[in-house]
Amino acid sequence: MRVLKFGGTSVGSVENIEKTIAIVANQAAQSPVAVVVSALGGVTDLLLRAGALAAKKEESYKDILKEISQKHISFTDTLTGGDQEILKAITLQMSHLEDLLKGIYLINELSPKTLDKLAAYGELTSSYIIAAAFKHKSIDASLKDSRELIITDANHTKAGVLYEITNQNITTYFAEKKAKITVLGGFIARTEAGDTSTLGRGGSDFTAAIIAAALDVEQLEIWTDVSGMFSANPKLVKQAKPIRDISYHEAMELSHFGAKVLYPPTIVPALSKNIPIYIKNTMAPDEAGTRIGEQEGSNGNPIKGISHISDVALLTLEGAGMVGISGISKRLFEVLSLQQINVILITQASSEHSICIGVMEADALRAKTAIETEFAYELSLRKIDPVIVETSLAIIALVGESMKSHQGISGKMFSTLGKNNVNIRAIAQGASEKNISAVIAEKDVKKALNSLHEVFFEGNRKQINLFVTGVGNVGAKLLEQINNQKQYLKEHLNLNIRVLGLSNSRKMLVSQDPIDLNNWEAQLDGGEKADILRFRESVINLNQRNSVFVDITANEPVAMAYEEYLRNSIAVVACNKIAAAGKQEYYANLKRLSRKYNAPFKFETNVGAGLPIIDTLQNLIASGDRITKVQAVLSGSLNFVFNNFKSGGSFYDVVQQAKEEGYTEPDPRIDLSGVDVARKILILARESGLELELEDIVNTPFLTKNNLESTDVPHFFETLKEDAAHFEKLVADATADGKRLKYVAQLDNGKASVGLQSVGSDSPFYNLEGSDNIVLFYTARYPEQPLIVKGAGAGGDVTASGLFSDIIRLR
């Protein structure tokens, strides 16, 4: 014989009830089955809500009653082909329910005993309707009221089962009746005095296990809306997978720690008779599901699952008077037990100075009052402080029986949480090491579950979540490159890059789900009005692991927003030079925050676009080298200008062309005055370990005073014409000496400078083409022959790929 239990969703629609019937009929062809059913999906919640409203004298309970009645009548009508007799019986049940609610309304009170009577309507009617549906399909099924079998104590709403009499009732009934299919309502029972009781929310699973154990059946099947017990709640962790095999103890830990798919007490009766429990999906019956049995599963992973409990409060009892005094914890737990307050987590520091306990938030105030009453004397003497209550917390737990023989799991757990900026309030690990729990803020639950799942179950596949600001030319190219490389990164680097946020100067969009990079423009257009700080707030609130803010603007307010990103452990990847080349203090603070909050701050594209210049420099320093000198040509725009400006030509025309072709900043003075190059050498100097400001860079201008004092861009161009002779002389002098003009940045002996130089054919700069950049690093290890990085130093594609490399380096 088998016992099959179908949960609320499995009997939540006519279509699913048809599926349920098919599954049962199929199994009954082989051996007799007991079918335990929950209330029609959502009905228990509705009943309790109606009761609460009625008790508060709110007439609106009638609306809910109407909803419940209509649901039952419409289900009955469809499933029995409008069978009048059955419809009459259900209508009668509903009028009894109406009377009960009216009674609650009149007396303005809802006791636990009445609550049970009320909640029981769900299973009483669902079992009645489902049994009738079997008959309507000419499948022989008998209906049994579970209250006649399962007897409990009078602890209403979560009654304790009296096993002796219950087991006897069950064995006697099934021995006598011998039906092929027996339909029973889950959850409901009866006290010895004959009152209706219930087994606690989710208790239909338990009913099924009680019957299974009493009859010592071959297997117990829990049919639900997911394909098994998952490595984490599939509603919160998309990557979660069903666990094929799991031990009773592991399943018990997981369900205790919030894996709602199985009501925790269910395991006990099954375990006592060693009956395997299968968790199966009514909507996908062919999927394997989970087998819970005696032996632990052998998937090679010491962790079986990760779960969490929400709405937890932490209570801390502390005081100097607790040290070395025996009996404090005894009194503490005794008083909580007397109040029937369930303690779900305990930690005590070895100093004995404080004890910290976790309880459900709903019990927190009651617990505080009870404890403070118990310790009133010690409180009055100030030996113990008032109980501290912290709320809005959750417990997350790693579960697995073989964790005990593996080292480093808790280390990995806590470092993963730490890296993702999840603050841990308390930790508990049972001596059996089946479970490691941590108390964290409720708001961090999803992030914590997903980061832990990634580390322990996804073969270290890392998800990186990008929030990109500035999606002009370079930004668009970056998104295109990411879109093209997505699959490759997954397969070869185990990296899953997702874009969750976009912003340009007009619009912004931040979303929980990845933005489709095939049509991001349209989605962004439909976004809300852009705002730098609101964008940041949304990114922080979204609270995703491995978040990265990508700044592809040249905008100062955006650069000033980095600190708060870093403080929230959100990495910053910037193309924008303003932060790294701004005030030394700001730069140093960003570096400090980056270290403190474990959030990388990367800006490779600040110097030489996609060329690995900063990365090379950082690697040299990290590996113990020392920079002695840097010589570089770092301006693609100035290179373009001086490569194209020949004696006899017009400097004005060349600059005009450079601007038109996008080689210069919109204001070419930023390039031609040397400011842009000065910023770049400043960044290299800082990365070499120097503390410098932009003003410390010696900048010898090649522009005339007249050019430099121009009032705006058109005026500047005018002055270029006016001073044509000056530029002609510069180039003619160089050419006469067989030299070429290059704009060179230099760092030597702690001093940085930028300026135009005439270089001879023996210089590595002499043959520099187009917009190429070159950097020569002279270091302790490369004293004579410098380490050279050379290549295209400007352009949308290479800049985007530099940003992309920075993102990939975050792995």
The residues that are catalytic are 680
Cβ distance to Mg ion smaller for residue 39 or 417: 39
Euclidean distance between CA atoms 245 and 547, whole angstroms = 34
Euclidean distance between CA atoms 139 and 181, whole angstroms = 9
733 — alpha (psi -120 to 50), left (phi > 0) or beta? alpha
Question: To 10 degrees, the CA torsion angle through 110, 114, 119, 121?
Answer: -130
Query: Contact at 8 Å (CB) between 677 and 756?
Result: no
202 interacts with ligand ADP by CB under 6 A: yes
Euclidean distance between CA atoms 617 and 727, whole angstroms = 35
Euclidean distance between CA atoms 119 and 51, whole angstroms = 9
Residues of this chain, 151-210, that bind Mg ion according to CB under 5 A: 202
Query: Contact at 8 Å (CB) between 147 and 170?
Result: no
DSSP state of 242: B
383 interacts with ligand ASP by CB under 6 A: no
User: Cβ–Cβ contacts within 10 Å for residue 318, how many?
Assistant: 18
309 interacts with ligand ADP by CB under 6 A: no
Q: Which amino acid type is present at position 386?
A: P
Cβ distance to ligand ASP smaller for residue 44 or 710: 44
Q: Which of 7, 582, 795, 802 binds ligand ADP (CB under 6 A)?
A: 7
Which residues, other chains included, contact 568 with Cβ-Cβ below 8 Å and sequence gap of 6+?
421, 540, 597, 599
Using CA atoms, how far residue 435 sits from 84, 178, 338, 398, 409, in Å, is 54, 43, 27, 5, 11
What is the nearest approach in angstroms of ligand ADP to the Cβ of residue 226? Answer: 5
Interstrand relation of 245-247 and 290-293 (parallel, antiparallel or unpaired): parallel
Cβ distance to ligand ASP smaller for residue 9 or 757: 9
CB under 6 A: which stretch of 90-98, 201-209, 337-345, 511-519 binds ligand ASP?
201-209
Q: Which of 10, 16, 20, 38 binds ligand ASP (CB under 6 A)?
A: 38
CB under 6 A: which stretch of 93-101, 256-264, 460-468, 774-782 binds ligand ADP?
256-264
Give the chain's radius of gyration (CA, Å).
36
Length of the chain (residues): 811
Residue sitting closest to Mg ion (CB): 202
CB under 6 A: which stretch of 221-229, 420-428, 543-551, 617-625 binds ligand ADP?
221-229
Residues of this chain, 94-123, that bind ligand ASP according to CB under 6 A: 122
Handedness of CA 645, 648, 654, 655 (dihedral sign): positive
Cβ distance to ligand ADP smaller for residue 260 or 591: 260
435 interacts with ligand ADP by CB under 6 A: no
CB under 5 A: which stretch of 7-15, 309-317, 682-690, 777-785 binds Mg ion?
7-15
Quick one: how far is CA 58 from the chain centroid? Answer: 39
Find the distance separating the first CA and the last CA of the chain, reported in whole Å. Answer: 53
265 interacts with ligand ASP by CB under 6 A: no
| Residue 240: exposure state from Cβ atoms within 10 A (0-12, 13-18, ≥19) | buried
Which residues, other chains included, contact 209 with Cβ-Cβ below 8 Å and sequence gap of 6+?
3, 220, 265, 266, 267, 268, 269, 270, 275, 277
Euclidean distance between CA atoms 743 and 768, whole angstroms = 11
CB under 6 A: which stretch of 229-237, 416-424, 427-435, 705-713 binds ligand ADP?
229-237
187 interacts with ligand ASP by CB under 6 A: yes
247 interacts with ligand ASP by CB under 6 A: no
Cβ distance to ligand ASP smaller for residue 42 or 786: 42
Q: Which of 2, 3, 4, 9 binds ligand ADP (CB under 6 A)?
A: 9
Binding partner selected for residue 688 from ligand ADP, Mg ion, ligand ASP, none, CB under the kind-specific 5 to 8 Å limit: none
3-state secondary structure of 638: helix
Query: Contact at 8 Å (CB) between 466 and 501?
Result: yes
Q: At what angle do helices 61-79 and 43-55 cross, to 10 degrees?
A: 150
CB under 6 A: which stretch of 36-44, 349-357, 391-399, 529-537 binds ligand ASP?
36-44
Tokens 């270089």 label which residue? Answer: 759
Cβ distance to ligand ADP smaller for residue 378 or 401: 401
8 interacts with ligand ASP by CB under 6 A: yes
CB under 6 A: which stretch of 100-108, 199-207, 503-511, 602-610 binds ligand ASP?
199-207
Binding partner selected for residue 229 from Mg ion, ligand ADP, ligand ASP, none, CB under the kind-specific 5 to 8 Å limit: ligand ADP
- The string over 152-162, giving b where at least 16 C-beta atoms fall within 10 Å of a residue's C-beta and e elsewhere, is beeebbbbebb
The helix, strand and coil proportions of the chain, stated in percent and rounded to the nearest 5, come to 45, 20, 35
Cβ distance to ligand ASP smaller for residue 37 or 371: 37
266 interacts with ligand ADP by CB under 6 A: no
Residues of this chain, 18-77, that bind ligand ADP according to CB under 6 A: 38
Cβ distance to ligand ADP smaller for residue 229 or 720: 229
**How many residues bind ligand ADP, per CB under 6 A?**
20
Q: Which of 211, 214, 226, 617 binds ligand ADP (CB under 6 A)?
A: 226
Cβ distance to ligand ASP smaller for residue 44 or 801: 44
The residues binding ligand ADP (CB under 6 A) are 7-10, 38, 202, 224-226, 229-230, 232-235, 259-261, 305, 307
In the complex, which residues of this chain contact ligand ASP (CB under 6 A)?
7-8, 38-39, 44, 122, 186-187, 201-205
Interface contacts to Mg ion, rule CB under 5 A: 7, 202
